[in-house]
Structures are given as structure tokens and as C-alpha cells.
Chain A
């Protein structure tokens, strides 16, 4: 059982939902990333998704793309991500998920990557371009190392296939809200709640919704039908000015996250 599995068990017992920010590793450097992760935990985030910058991301919109370009422009290396995450490990209780393009994993070898990520303190990985058909070996290796392989379903996934993906996934199922790339949306698809509800009835795996979520209204709408929410671009956008003023960037991210967390727990206070 991974820290992610334990987290969802705990949340289920208390009837709470997970809130999972996405941040880009090394934007602009790993020292800042480490600081952001500490603040996220202090704010009460359940877990965090750490994006590994990749030179050719296809599923990412302009905000996350630009953050990858900044990180790689500062010569970020894979080993630096692992080293920093590992050195903060003892102070962190919040589980971490790595978001990594398959090109990076392949270059390390699947098992080598899983071992290195686990040793650093990650509990699971999301590989946005590893389809369920291609994921068998990775899935087996993750099971062997008690590591979660979190798979995605999207609005274009037919129902049968969605169930197959849910079966192959571990930790949680990543439900992509929109047909498109990452990035804030003003409105989310009208049938989203129904579609999540449909699969929720058919799987015991926790479901987290991501892509496009950036406003308290989105959180209020979606929280009741899922087990967790993922917010990426809106937060990365707040942090993008960290090169100029880290404190200002952190303050604006904190402000946004606090408003989203408040929407997640309206009964609080």
C-alpha cells in the first residue's frame, strides 16, 4: 500500500476530498520547488503532483509549457529533481506524484526510473503519453515496487475503454475534464458531472478530476462527485514570476489555493 492509497483511505473515512496542486519541478530552480512544496503542505493540500519538465510536451498548454522551458533553460537535470525531493523527505508527510513524459522514463529504463523515483520519495507516477495498451510492463513493475501508476481517462474515451483503464490504474484514476490541453477554462463541459458519476459507480478506485480547474465555482461543482481535484496551470501561472520575486509569487499562489481549499470545505468555520 502506497502513501496515496493510505491518503484516500483516510479521506474516505472522514468524508473529505483530496486537493492536489500541480507544480513544475525546477521552475525556476529546485530550491524554490522545495519551498513551494513545504508551503503546500502547511496550507493543507492533501498531496502534490510534481511535473518533470520535458522538451516536447504535447498534452500541455502554454502556461505549463513555458514553465518547462524555463526549468530546462536553467539546465535542470533529472537527478537534481530526485536529489532535492529526497533531501526534504523526512519533513514531508504529504504524498507526491510524479508527472513524467514517457520519453524520460524510457531513457532511464522503466524499472530504473521507478526505483529512483520511489527512493526519492514519490509514491506514484502519471505518464500522460503511456496508453493502457502500452502500459503493461510499467504497470507490473509498479506493482512489484509498491508504486502507483495513475492512468487517465478523457472525454473522448469510450465507456468500455474507461473501465479498462480504471482497472489498470492504481492509486487513483485521473479524470481529464476537457478534450484538450492543460490550462485554465472559464467553463467546464456541461456533462462532466454525469460522466464522472457514471464511472464512479463502476469502480472502487478514487477519482480525481484535473485540467481546466481554476476557480472556486469549479471546485464547488465537482467536489461532490469525485474524490479529489487537481489544479495545475492556475497555480503554475502564479508561480511563474518567481524569478523576479519568490515571496510575491508564493503569496499569490497561496491566495489562490486558500480560496480553492475554502470552496472544497464550505462547512468549515
Chain B
């Protein structure tokens, strides 16, 4: 339980730190109750408890089962195309004139983003638990596509909840999901974005939990999801660490990743947590400004609270109501963040910052024109910050960007934002 609880002031100071910042970050988290320091836990209706317990049990068994790991590795290799390359962006590095920039190419995975690493793992668990239906939420549609893909691969029926506003701005992904046989249900409640899609998926799960598995797409939600999704995504960081040792002969100096719920960042950062020489930088969506409602940066501007089943930094008002957030990118348009990021923030292991909409849009051209890579708008947030940071570094230093997704899906939205014809 948080220390805030017992002190009981009428209104909690939104900027008060919630955990002891002097302890250093451990990799041995979460504990048995799903806590990363004070963060995480499980705040869900009793109806879901048994399914979550069952998931913990099955996941622990699977982790220790060499057959499970072998099957997943095989899929990641032959179906997804892993390992994803670590690419030296020489032209971009020269242009910026600072650190050497390396791109961890998760955009080259099958389905075009890191999301597939997690959905294949969870789909395998679904089969092990003998569940016969999958539900998922999606923001940008990448997790929806990755879920639809995993379900088509294994022959599982799949329902994807997606905010109606996101259905509009990420049309190509909606079409892809439907092509693979998934049912996309637009969510009309609330802000019609990712947060509402999570609510609706949770409600579906409340009624269907006995035969349905909910594949959460990020390191959010009740225990064991934050841990499990991090673990499935850690293949990014593990590969990257080895690739750095092979290509550079040493670890990189800095790694930058974008953070919405935070799954690509968690997967990239986790294997480097104890490599304290490596700066880890998470970039949230800074939107249009610092006022509440103008951005989606709970780690930068929010305070600890409860949302979607776990205790973490969140954008809330003084009554505990979730605030509206804004981001140009559907995948980062979320008022909460994974509890392990809150833990890394308070232990100061990871630096969190935010990048505005306009900076992100502008940085799209950096890779498109200089390297021939179209980058997802989510990832553009990391790219924009990384370009600023690289300039402050020297030519013999190395900076890795987690290139979490490709930008084809954003072409139409980008044209609309720039007032160009599509």
C-alpha cells in the first residue's frame, strides 16, 4: 500500500513522491503481489481474480518449460523474423553531428511493430490455459493487428476493442485486422481512445472470463500483466545488448524509447537496468502543451493513482477522476503508464521527458529523407528527443533508438495534419 494512503490529507499533493527515491532499481521485481516498489498491484473486481491467479500460475509454469520457450523462439525467428537488426544510421548521425545513432529495427518485425513479441507469447498461454477466445484493446491498431495475427496463426477467434476516434485515424490497421478475421468493435464511450478501449475490453472480460483470455497490449493492468508483457518484450533489449557488444564491442551510452503504456520501452530497458553506465531515456507524448488535457505525459506531469487495475503515475483530477489526455499519436494517447516505469522514475534509473506533437511530426522527415525509413508517429517522439540528445554527445559515443514501429499506418493522418492531399 502506498504511503500516501495512511497519511490521509484531504487532498494529496500531486507532486509528492510516493516511494523512497534513494533505493536503486532492481531487476527482481515485481514481488509476489505484483509490486514494483509501491507500484503495480491488482485493483480489479473480484470476478477477475481467479483468471488472474490462473494466468500467474500458467505463466510461471510456462517460463520454466523449455518447450514453451522453444516454441516461442521458433515463432519469433521464423514467423516474426527475429532477431531484428541493429542498424547504424550513418547519414543521420553525420547530419546531427553528435553521437553515432543506432536503430533497433522493431519496425521490421512481421506486422510492423514490437507488439507481435507479446501477442504470440500470450496466444501460446491462451492455448495452454485451454481458453477458446481472445479479446484485445488497441490504440494505434498495432497491438490489434498483432493480436489478430497471432489469433489467425493459432485459429483463435479475436475481438479487438478500439476507440472510435482511433478507428478514424488508423484506418489501414482496422482493415488489416478485419482481413485476418478479427472483429473490430469501435468504442463510442468517453474520449473514444485507448483508455476507453481498455475499459470496454475489461467489461467484456468480466462476463467472458471463464473461456476468454484478454491479451493486454502494454505493460499496464493488474498483476501479472505488467511483468508478463515486459518479459515477452524483453527480447528487444536482450538482442540489442548482444548486438551492441558484437558491433560496438561495448554497451551503448544511451538508449531512447517512446512511452505510452510503455511496452517497447520496458522491453528495451529491462535488460539494461543494472548497466548503470547506460543512460535510459523514456519519451512521453507532450501533445500541445503542459496544461492538463493538452498532453499524455503522466510520468512528467501526473501523480500516483489507480487506473486500469494498477497503481502507477496517472493523469487524474483531485477527485480521482481520470483526466482527458491528448496526443497526435493514437498509441501514446493514454492517461496512465506501466507501474514499472513509475518504479524506474522514482528510483531514478530511467529519465523521463516528453516531446510535443509538432516536434514528433517534424522528426518523421529526419528518417524518411535521410535514411529511407518511415517511422510510426509514436516512435517519432523518441526520434525527436534522441536527435536533440545526440547533438549534446560526442562522435565516439553511441545512442540507440528503439524504432518500435513503422509509419505506413500514419501516412494518411500525416497528410491530413500537414494539409496535404492523400
List chain B residues, Cβ under 8 A from A161.
49
Report the separation of the CA atoms of residues A103 and B44 in the bound assembly, to the nearest whole angstrom: 11
Q: Given that A69-B189, A105-B320, A156-B209 are contacting pairs, would A110 and B5 also be in contact in the complex, using a CB cutoff of 8 Å?
A: yes
User: B210 contacts which of A69, A111, A136, A179 (Cβ < 8 Å)?
Assistant: A179
Contact of A65 with B by CB under 8 A: yes
Contact of A77 with B by CB under 8 A: yes
List chain A residues, Cβ under 8 A from B309.
58, 129
Task: Please tell me if the beta carbons of B46 and A153 are within 8 angstroms of each other in the complex.
Answer: yes
Q: Given that A78-B319, A107-B12, A179-B209 are contacting pairs, would A59 and B6 also be in contact in the complex, using a CB cutoff of 8 Å?
A: no
Task: Please tell me if the beta carbons of A137 and B1 are within 8 angstroms of each other in the complex.
Answer: yes
Q: Given that A134-B43, A157-B49, A176-B46 are contacting pairs, would A108 and B11 also be in contact in the complex, using a CB cutoff of 8 Å?
A: yes
Name 13 A/B residue pairs within 8 A (Cβ), A-sorted: A54-B320, A55-B322, A58-B308, A69-B190, A106-B5, A107-B12, A107-B318, A108-B8, A109-B6, A133-B33, A156-B47, A158-B50, A161-B49
Contact of A165 with B by CB under 8 A: yes
Query: B313 → chain A, closest Cβ, in Å?
Result: 13
Report the nearest B residue to A136, measured CB to CB: B1
Report the nearest A residue to B50, measured CB to CB: A156
List chain B residues, Cβ under 8 A from A101.
306, 320
Report the separation of the CA atoms of residues A111 and B74 in the bound assembly, to the nearest whole angstrom: 52
List chain A residues, Cβ under 8 A from B6.
109-111, 137
Report the nearest B residue to A57, measured CB to CB: B199
Which of B200-208, B240-248, B266-274, B280-288 lies at the interface with chain A?
B200-208
Task: Please tell me if the beta carbons of B203 and A181 are within 8 angstroms of each other in the complex.
Answer: yes
User: A156 contacts which of B12, B49, B305, B311 (Cβ < 8 Å)?
Assistant: B49
Contact of A112 with B by CB under 8 A: yes
CB 8 Å contact bits of B317-353 with A (1 = contact, 0 = none): 0111110000000000000000000000000000000
Contact of A32 with B by CB under 8 A: no
Contact of B42 with A by CB under 8 A: yes
CB 8 Å contact bits of B28-47 with A (1 = contact, 0 = none): 00000100000001111111
Task: Please tell me if the beta carbons of A109 and B5 are within 8 angstroms of each other in the complex.
Answer: yes
* Chain A CB within 10 A, most for which of B46, B207, B311: B46
Report the nearest B residue to A58, measured CB to CB: B202
* Chain B CB within 10 A, most for which of A101, A115, A179: A179
List chain A residues, Cβ under 8 A from B305.
103, 106-107
